[in-house]
Amino acid sequence: MKSFVYQNLPMRVVFGDGAISRLPEEVQRLGARSALVLCTEHQRASAERVTTLLGERAAGIYDRAQMHVPIETAQEAREMARRLGADVCVAIGGGSTIGLGKAIALTSELPIVAIPTTFAGSEMTPIYGITENRLKKTGRDARVLPQSVIYDPALTSTLPPQIAATSGINAIAHAVEALYSPDANPITTLMAEESIRTLSQSLPRLVQHRDDTEAASTALYGAWLAGACLGAVGMALHHKLCHTLGGTFNLPHAEMHTVVLPHSIAYNRAAAPEAMERISRALGGADPAQGIYDLAANLGTPLSLREIGMPEDGLETAAQLATENPYYNPQPIDRASILELLTHAYQGKRPSSR
Ligand code: NAD
Protein backbone atom coordinates (compact mmCIF):
# COMPACT_ATOMS: atom_id res chain seq x y z
CA MET A 1 0.00 0.00 0.00
CA LYS A 2 1.36 3.46 -0.81
CA SER A 3 2.13 5.85 2.05
CA PHE A 4 -0.52 8.42 2.88
CA VAL A 5 -1.63 11.14 5.29
CA TYR A 6 -5.17 11.16 6.65
CA GLN A 7 -6.34 13.94 8.91
CA ASN A 8 -9.55 13.42 10.84
CA LEU A 9 -11.60 16.61 11.04
CA PRO A 10 -12.72 17.50 14.57
CA MET A 11 -16.50 17.37 14.42
CA ARG A 12 -19.40 15.56 15.97
CA VAL A 13 -22.20 13.94 13.99
CA VAL A 14 -25.66 13.14 15.33
CA PHE A 15 -27.57 11.04 12.80
CA GLY A 16 -31.09 9.61 12.69
CA ASP A 17 -34.79 10.21 12.21
CA GLY A 18 -35.88 12.87 14.67
CA ALA A 19 -32.24 13.81 15.44
CA ILE A 20 -33.20 17.50 15.26
CA SER A 21 -34.74 17.14 18.71
CA ARG A 22 -31.19 16.74 20.07
CA LEU A 23 -30.27 20.27 19.01
CA PRO A 24 -30.57 21.83 22.50
CA GLU A 25 -28.13 19.22 23.82
CA GLU A 26 -25.65 20.00 21.01
CA VAL A 27 -25.84 23.74 21.69
CA GLN A 28 -25.39 23.13 25.40
CA ARG A 29 -22.35 20.91 24.78
CA LEU A 30 -20.66 23.91 23.15
CA GLY A 31 -21.31 25.93 26.29
CA ALA A 32 -23.43 28.34 24.21
CA ARG A 33 -26.38 30.27 25.59
CA SER A 34 -27.70 32.26 22.68
CA ALA A 35 -28.14 30.99 19.12
CA LEU A 36 -28.72 32.93 15.91
CA VAL A 37 -30.65 30.65 13.55
CA LEU A 38 -29.79 30.96 9.84
CA CYS A 39 -32.06 29.96 6.93
CA THR A 40 -33.31 31.07 3.52
CA GLU A 41 -36.62 32.96 3.25
CA HIS A 42 -38.06 29.76 1.84
CA GLN A 43 -37.11 27.71 4.95
CA ARG A 44 -38.36 30.18 7.54
CA ALA A 45 -40.81 27.61 8.95
CA SER A 46 -37.96 25.14 9.63
CA ALA A 47 -36.01 27.89 11.39
CA GLU A 48 -39.04 28.70 13.55
CA ARG A 49 -39.23 25.05 14.56
CA VAL A 50 -35.57 25.31 15.57
CA THR A 51 -36.20 28.39 17.73
CA THR A 52 -39.08 26.58 19.44
CA LEU A 53 -36.77 23.66 20.18
CA LEU A 54 -34.09 26.01 21.54
CA GLY A 55 -36.50 27.95 23.76
CA GLU A 56 -34.64 30.61 25.73
CA ARG A 57 -31.38 29.71 23.97
CA ALA A 58 -32.76 31.17 20.70
CA ALA A 59 -31.57 34.74 20.05
CA GLY A 60 -33.34 35.24 16.69
CA ILE A 61 -33.63 34.21 13.05
CA TYR A 62 -31.71 35.58 10.08
CA ASP A 63 -33.69 34.38 7.05
CA ARG A 64 -31.91 35.97 4.11
CA ALA A 65 -29.31 33.30 3.29
CA GLN A 66 -28.69 33.26 -0.48
CA MET A 67 -26.85 31.25 -3.10
CA HIS A 68 -23.09 32.05 -3.31
CA VAL A 69 -23.02 33.99 0.00
CA PRO A 70 -22.96 37.68 -1.05
CA ILE A 71 -20.59 39.54 1.28
CA GLU A 72 -23.35 42.07 2.16
CA THR A 73 -25.51 39.22 3.49
CA ALA A 74 -22.63 37.84 5.55
CA GLN A 75 -21.96 41.31 7.02
CA GLU A 76 -25.63 41.88 7.82
CA ALA A 77 -25.98 38.48 9.54
CA ARG A 78 -22.72 38.95 11.47
CA GLU A 79 -23.94 42.35 12.65
CA MET A 80 -27.24 40.81 13.76
CA ALA A 81 -25.34 38.11 15.69
CA ARG A 82 -23.27 40.82 17.41
CA ARG A 83 -26.31 42.96 18.24
CA LEU A 84 -28.17 40.00 19.75
CA GLY A 85 -25.12 38.77 21.66
CA ALA A 86 -25.28 35.37 19.93
CA ASP A 87 -22.52 32.92 20.82
CA VAL A 88 -23.37 30.20 18.27
CA CYS A 89 -24.97 30.00 14.81
CA VAL A 90 -27.40 27.22 13.98
CA ALA A 91 -27.61 26.85 10.19
CA ILE A 92 -30.62 24.90 8.91
CA GLY A 93 -30.70 24.40 5.13
CA GLY A 94 -28.54 23.53 2.16
CA GLY A 95 -25.05 24.58 1.12
CA SER A 96 -26.07 28.23 0.79
CA THR A 97 -27.27 28.55 4.39
CA ILE A 98 -24.37 26.56 5.83
CA GLY A 99 -22.08 28.71 3.65
CA LEU A 100 -23.50 31.81 5.35
CA GLY A 101 -22.68 30.30 8.75
CA LYS A 102 -19.13 29.74 7.54
CA ALA A 103 -18.77 33.33 6.31
CA ILE A 104 -19.86 34.56 9.76
CA ALA A 105 -17.47 32.15 11.51
CA LEU A 106 -14.55 33.26 9.37
CA THR A 107 -14.30 36.65 11.05
CA SER A 108 -16.26 36.23 14.27
CA GLU A 109 -15.20 32.69 15.22
CA LEU A 110 -18.79 31.90 16.23
CA PRO A 111 -19.14 28.10 16.28
CA ILE A 112 -21.64 26.48 13.91
CA VAL A 113 -24.16 23.75 14.51
CA ALA A 114 -25.22 22.63 11.01
CA ILE A 115 -28.53 20.94 10.20
CA PRO A 116 -28.27 20.02 6.51
CA THR A 117 -31.49 19.63 4.54
CA THR A 118 -29.94 18.84 1.12
CA PHE A 119 -27.17 16.44 0.05
CA ALA A 120 -24.59 19.09 -0.94
CA GLY A 121 -22.12 18.21 1.85
CA SER A 122 -20.83 21.67 2.83
CA GLU A 123 -21.31 20.85 6.53
CA MET A 124 -18.41 18.35 6.34
CA THR A 125 -15.81 20.72 4.93
CA PRO A 126 -13.58 23.60 6.06
CA ILE A 127 -14.17 25.19 2.63
CA TYR A 128 -15.93 28.57 2.43
CA GLY A 129 -17.01 30.80 -0.44
CA ILE A 130 -17.94 34.50 -0.38
CA THR A 131 -19.04 36.61 -3.35
CA GLU A 132 -17.88 40.21 -3.61
CA ASN A 133 -18.32 42.36 -6.74
CA ARG A 134 -19.69 39.30 -8.57
CA LEU A 135 -16.48 37.36 -7.89
CA LYS A 136 -16.69 34.24 -5.68
CA LYS A 137 -13.63 33.82 -3.52
CA THR A 138 -13.15 30.39 -1.93
CA GLY A 139 -10.72 29.17 0.68
CA ARG A 140 -10.07 26.62 3.39
CA ASP A 141 -10.02 27.59 7.05
CA ALA A 142 -10.42 25.36 10.10
CA ARG A 143 -12.53 28.08 11.81
CA VAL A 144 -15.43 27.54 9.40
CA LEU A 145 -15.81 23.81 10.03
CA PRO A 146 -19.09 23.18 11.91
CA GLN A 147 -18.49 21.81 15.39
CA SER A 148 -21.57 19.69 15.34
CA VAL A 149 -23.71 18.32 12.49
CA ILE A 150 -27.22 17.01 12.93
CA TYR A 151 -28.38 14.74 10.10
CA ASP A 152 -32.11 14.19 10.31
CA PRO A 153 -33.33 12.36 7.17
CA ALA A 154 -36.92 13.46 7.82
CA LEU A 155 -35.89 17.05 7.01
CA THR A 156 -35.14 16.10 3.40
CA SER A 157 -38.75 14.98 2.80
CA THR A 158 -39.79 18.51 1.76
CA LEU A 159 -37.09 18.76 -0.91
CA PRO A 160 -38.69 19.06 -4.35
CA PRO A 161 -37.77 15.85 -6.28
CA GLN A 162 -35.58 17.73 -8.75
CA ILE A 163 -33.50 19.37 -5.97
CA ALA A 164 -33.22 16.00 -4.17
CA ALA A 165 -31.97 14.35 -7.36
CA THR A 166 -29.47 17.02 -8.48
CA SER A 167 -28.21 17.65 -4.98
CA GLY A 168 -27.62 13.87 -4.63
CA ILE A 169 -25.62 13.80 -7.86
CA ASN A 170 -23.69 16.86 -6.67
CA ALA A 171 -22.67 14.67 -3.71
CA ILE A 172 -21.70 11.80 -6.03
CA ALA A 173 -19.41 14.25 -7.86
CA HIS A 174 -17.41 14.81 -4.64
CA ALA A 175 -17.01 11.05 -4.19
CA VAL A 176 -16.03 10.48 -7.84
CA GLU A 177 -13.26 13.07 -7.76
CA ALA A 178 -12.04 11.85 -4.36
CA LEU A 179 -11.32 8.48 -5.99
CA TYR A 180 -8.71 9.95 -8.38
CA SER A 181 -7.51 12.78 -6.15
CA PRO A 182 -3.71 13.01 -5.80
CA ASP A 183 -4.15 12.77 -2.01
CA ALA A 184 -6.68 9.92 -2.11
CA ASN A 185 -6.04 7.38 0.64
CA PRO A 186 -7.60 4.06 1.65
CA ILE A 187 -10.04 5.75 4.05
CA THR A 188 -11.42 8.34 1.61
CA THR A 189 -11.52 5.69 -1.12
CA LEU A 190 -13.64 3.45 1.08
CA MET A 191 -15.98 6.33 1.89
CA ALA A 192 -16.20 7.45 -1.75
CA GLU A 193 -17.16 4.06 -3.17
CA GLU A 194 -19.73 3.48 -0.43
CA SER A 195 -21.11 6.97 -1.05
CA ILE A 196 -21.63 6.34 -4.78
CA ARG A 197 -23.23 2.98 -4.06
CA THR A 198 -25.65 4.24 -1.43
CA LEU A 199 -26.64 7.40 -3.30
CA SER A 200 -27.14 5.71 -6.67
CA GLN A 201 -29.33 3.07 -5.05
CA SER A 202 -31.37 5.37 -2.82
CA LEU A 203 -31.97 8.41 -5.06
CA PRO A 204 -34.33 6.67 -7.53
CA ARG A 205 -36.41 5.32 -4.60
CA LEU A 206 -36.38 8.68 -2.88
CA VAL A 207 -37.48 10.60 -5.96
CA GLN A 208 -40.31 8.15 -6.73
CA HIS A 209 -41.55 7.74 -3.17
CA ARG A 210 -41.04 10.96 -1.24
CA ASP A 211 -42.18 9.22 1.97
CA ASP A 212 -39.56 6.41 1.76
CA THR A 213 -37.76 7.17 5.02
CA GLU A 214 -35.24 4.34 4.57
CA ALA A 215 -34.19 5.78 1.17
CA ALA A 216 -33.91 9.28 2.69
CA SER A 217 -31.73 7.92 5.46
CA THR A 218 -29.46 6.00 3.05
CA ALA A 219 -29.12 9.03 0.75
CA LEU A 220 -28.21 11.32 3.63
CA TYR A 221 -25.62 8.80 4.84
CA GLY A 222 -24.15 8.73 1.31
CA ALA A 223 -24.12 12.53 1.19
CA TRP A 224 -22.31 12.67 4.54
CA LEU A 225 -19.59 10.33 3.20
CA ALA A 226 -19.29 12.40 0.01
CA GLY A 227 -18.99 15.64 1.99
CA ALA A 228 -16.32 14.04 4.17
CA CYS A 229 -14.36 13.14 1.00
CA LEU A 230 -14.67 16.73 -0.26
CA GLY A 231 -13.40 18.01 3.09
CA ALA A 232 -10.46 15.58 3.16
CA VAL A 233 -8.89 15.51 -0.31
CA GLY A 234 -8.39 17.80 -3.30
CA MET A 235 -10.76 17.79 -6.27
CA ALA A 236 -9.93 17.96 -10.00
CA LEU A 237 -11.32 18.88 -13.44
CA HIS A 238 -15.01 18.39 -12.70
CA HIS A 239 -15.07 20.78 -9.73
CA LYS A 240 -12.87 23.28 -11.60
CA LEU A 241 -15.27 23.27 -14.57
CA CYS A 242 -18.32 23.72 -12.34
CA HIS A 243 -16.63 26.52 -10.42
CA THR A 244 -15.88 28.29 -13.71
CA LEU A 245 -19.35 27.76 -15.18
CA GLY A 246 -21.10 28.75 -11.95
CA GLY A 247 -18.99 31.85 -11.42
CA THR A 248 -19.05 33.12 -15.02
CA PHE A 249 -22.53 32.13 -16.19
CA ASN A 250 -24.35 31.94 -12.86
CA LEU A 251 -25.71 28.46 -13.62
CA PRO A 252 -27.65 26.64 -10.87
CA HIS A 253 -25.11 24.74 -8.75
CA ALA A 254 -26.51 21.23 -8.33
CA GLU A 255 -28.05 21.02 -11.84
CA MET A 256 -24.73 22.05 -13.36
CA HIS A 257 -22.84 19.33 -11.43
CA THR A 258 -25.43 16.80 -12.60
CA VAL A 259 -25.10 17.75 -16.27
CA VAL A 260 -21.28 17.94 -16.34
CA LEU A 261 -20.36 14.89 -14.23
CA PRO A 262 -20.85 12.11 -16.86
CA HIS A 263 -18.66 14.08 -19.28
CA SER A 264 -15.92 14.76 -16.70
CA ILE A 265 -15.88 11.02 -15.95
CA ALA A 266 -15.67 10.14 -19.65
CA TYR A 267 -12.77 12.59 -19.99
CA ASN A 268 -10.82 10.91 -17.16
CA ARG A 269 -11.94 7.35 -17.89
CA ALA A 270 -8.75 6.07 -19.52
CA ALA A 271 -6.40 7.90 -17.16
CA ALA A 272 -7.84 6.69 -13.82
CA PRO A 273 -8.63 2.98 -14.30
CA GLU A 274 -8.71 2.04 -10.60
CA ALA A 275 -11.12 4.85 -9.74
CA MET A 276 -13.30 3.90 -12.71
CA GLU A 277 -13.42 0.29 -11.61
CA ARG A 278 -14.70 1.39 -8.21
CA ILE A 279 -17.31 3.75 -9.69
CA SER A 280 -18.49 1.00 -12.01
CA ARG A 281 -18.70 -1.49 -9.12
CA ALA A 282 -20.66 1.02 -7.04
CA LEU A 283 -23.08 1.46 -9.97
CA GLY A 284 -23.67 -2.28 -10.23
CA GLY A 285 -21.28 -2.87 -13.14
CA ALA A 286 -22.28 -0.06 -15.52
CA ASP A 287 -19.78 1.98 -17.49
CA PRO A 288 -18.93 4.86 -15.08
CA ALA A 289 -19.81 7.74 -17.43
CA GLN A 290 -22.89 6.12 -18.92
CA GLY A 291 -24.00 4.85 -15.50
CA ILE A 292 -24.09 8.36 -14.03
CA TYR A 293 -25.76 9.76 -17.17
CA ASP A 294 -28.45 7.05 -17.01
CA LEU A 295 -28.96 7.63 -13.29
CA ALA A 296 -29.59 11.34 -13.98
CA ALA A 297 -31.90 10.48 -16.91
CA ASN A 298 -33.90 8.08 -14.71
CA LEU A 299 -34.20 10.73 -12.03
CA GLY A 300 -35.59 13.15 -14.64
CA THR A 301 -32.96 15.86 -14.10
CA PRO A 302 -31.75 18.23 -16.83
CA LEU A 303 -29.09 16.55 -19.00
CA SER A 304 -27.74 19.48 -20.99
CA LEU A 305 -26.12 22.80 -20.19
CA ARG A 306 -28.46 24.28 -22.80
CA GLU A 307 -31.48 23.47 -20.62
CA ILE A 308 -30.04 25.18 -17.55
CA GLY A 309 -29.24 28.53 -19.14
CA MET A 310 -25.72 28.19 -20.55
CA PRO A 311 -25.27 30.47 -23.60
CA GLU A 312 -23.79 28.51 -26.53
CA ASP A 313 -21.40 31.35 -27.34
CA GLY A 314 -19.99 31.07 -23.81
CA LEU A 315 -18.48 27.63 -24.36
CA GLU A 316 -15.21 28.99 -25.81
CA THR A 317 -14.80 31.40 -22.88
CA ALA A 318 -15.52 28.61 -20.39
CA ALA A 319 -12.93 26.33 -22.02
CA GLN A 320 -10.41 29.17 -21.96
CA LEU A 321 -11.03 30.03 -18.28
CA ALA A 322 -10.99 26.38 -17.18
CA THR A 323 -7.58 25.79 -18.72
CA GLU A 324 -5.90 29.06 -17.76
CA ASN A 325 -4.25 27.91 -14.54
CA PRO A 326 -2.71 24.45 -14.37
CA TYR A 327 -4.17 22.09 -11.73
CA TYR A 328 -4.10 18.39 -11.04
CA ASN A 329 -6.20 16.09 -13.20
CA PRO A 330 -5.58 12.44 -14.12
CA GLN A 331 -5.99 13.18 -17.85
CA PRO A 332 -3.87 16.12 -19.03
CA ILE A 333 -5.90 19.21 -19.85
CA ASP A 334 -5.89 21.18 -23.08
CA ARG A 335 -8.29 23.77 -24.40
CA ALA A 336 -9.52 21.84 -27.44
CA SER A 337 -10.38 18.71 -25.42
CA ILE A 338 -12.14 20.75 -22.72
CA LEU A 339 -14.14 22.60 -25.38
CA GLU A 340 -15.20 19.22 -26.76
CA LEU A 341 -16.22 18.03 -23.26
CA LEU A 342 -18.23 21.21 -22.70
CA THR A 343 -19.87 20.93 -26.12
CA HIS A 344 -21.03 17.39 -25.26
CA ALA A 345 -22.37 18.65 -21.93
CA TYR A 346 -24.09 21.56 -23.71
CA GLN A 347 -25.83 19.16 -26.07
CA GLY A 348 -26.62 16.65 -23.31
CA LYS A 349 -25.16 13.76 -25.31
CA ARG A 350 -24.95 10.34 -23.63
CA PRO A 351 -21.20 9.59 -23.34
CA SER A 352 -20.00 6.79 -25.58
CA SER A 353 -18.79 3.56 -23.94
CA ARG A 354 -15.11 2.98 -23.15
P1 NAD B 1 -29.11 25.63 -1.59
O2 NAD B 1 -28.61 25.65 -0.21
O3 NAD B 1 -28.82 26.82 -2.44
O4 NAD B 1 -30.68 25.35 -1.55
C5 NAD B 1 -31.47 25.41 -2.72
C6 NAD B 1 -32.92 25.78 -2.37
O7 NAD B 1 -33.53 24.65 -1.75
C8 NAD B 1 -33.03 26.93 -1.36
O9 NAD B 1 -34.12 27.73 -1.71
C10 NAD B 1 -33.30 26.21 -0.05
O11 NAD B 1 -33.98 27.00 0.87
C12 NAD B 1 -34.13 25.05 -0.53
N13 NAD B 1 -34.10 23.88 0.36
C14 NAD B 1 -33.02 23.34 0.97
N15 NAD B 1 -33.38 22.27 1.68
C16 NAD B 1 -34.72 22.12 1.53
C17 NAD B 1 -35.67 21.18 2.01
N18 NAD B 1 -35.33 20.12 2.76
N19 NAD B 1 -36.98 21.35 1.67
C20 NAD B 1 -37.34 22.36 0.84
N21 NAD B 1 -36.48 23.27 0.35
C22 NAD B 1 -35.18 23.16 0.68
O23 NAD B 1 -28.60 24.37 -2.42
P24 NAD B 1 -27.41 23.33 -2.16
O25 NAD B 1 -27.31 22.56 -3.43
O26 NAD B 1 -27.60 22.61 -0.89
O27 NAD B 1 -26.12 24.24 -1.98
C28 NAD B 1 -25.48 24.87 -3.06
C29 NAD B 1 -24.44 25.86 -2.54
O30 NAD B 1 -23.61 25.22 -1.60
C31 NAD B 1 -23.52 26.37 -3.65
O32 NAD B 1 -23.32 27.75 -3.49
C33 NAD B 1 -22.22 25.62 -3.43
O34 NAD B 1 -21.09 26.32 -3.86
C35 NAD B 1 -22.23 25.41 -1.93
N36 NAD B 1 -21.47 24.22 -1.51
C37 NAD B 1 -20.39 24.43 -0.73
C38 NAD B 1 -19.63 23.35 -0.30
C39 NAD B 1 -18.45 23.59 0.58
O40 NAD B 1 -17.78 22.65 0.99
N41 NAD B 1 -18.14 24.81 0.92
C42 NAD B 1 -20.01 22.03 -0.65
C43 NAD B 1 -21.12 21.86 -1.44
C44 NAD B 1 -21.87 22.97 -1.86
Q: Write out pLDDT tens, residues 162-206.
A: 999 999 999 999 999 999 999 999 999 999 999 999 999 999 999
Is the beta carbon of 120 within 6 A of some atom in ligand 1?
Answer: yes
Is the beta carbon of 95 within 6 A of some atom in ligand 1?
Answer: yes
Give the Cα separation of 274 and 189 in Å (integer): 11
Instruction: Compute, in angstroms, the gap from residue 346 CA to the centroid of ligand 1.
Output: 23
Amino acid at 14: V
Instruction: Compute, in angstroms, the gap from residue 77 CA to the centroid of ligand 1.
Output: 18
What residue owns the CA closest to ligand 1's atom 34? Answer: 68
Q: Which residue(s) pair with 37 in the sheet?
A: 61, 90
Average pLDDT over residues 70-86: 97
Q: 281: pLDDT confidence band, cut at 50, 70 and 90?
A: very high
Q: Is it the case that residue 212 has pLDDT exceeding 80?
A: yes
* DSSP code at position 144: G
Atom of ligand 1 nearest to the CA of 129: 41
**Cβ-proximal residues to 251 (8 Å cutoff; 6+ apart), any chain:** 245, 305, 308, 309, 310
CATH of domain 12-156: 3.40.50.1970
**Cα 223 to the chain's mean position, in Å?**
8
Domain limits, CATH 3.40.50.1970, in the chain: 12-156
Give the Cα separation of 293 and 284 in Å (integer): 14
Check if CATH label 3.40.640.10 holds for domain 161-347. Answer: no
Q: What is the pLDDT of residues 285-342, one digit of tens each?
A: 999 999 999 999 999 999 999 999 999 999 999 999 999 988 899 999 999 999 999 9
Is the beta carbon of 68 within 6 A of some atom in ligand 1?
Answer: yes
User: Exposed/middle/buried for 112, CB within 10 Å: 0-12, 13-18, 19+?
Assistant: buried
Atom of ligand 1 nearest to the CA of 230: 40
Q: Is it the case that residue 354 has pLDDT exceeding 80?
A: no
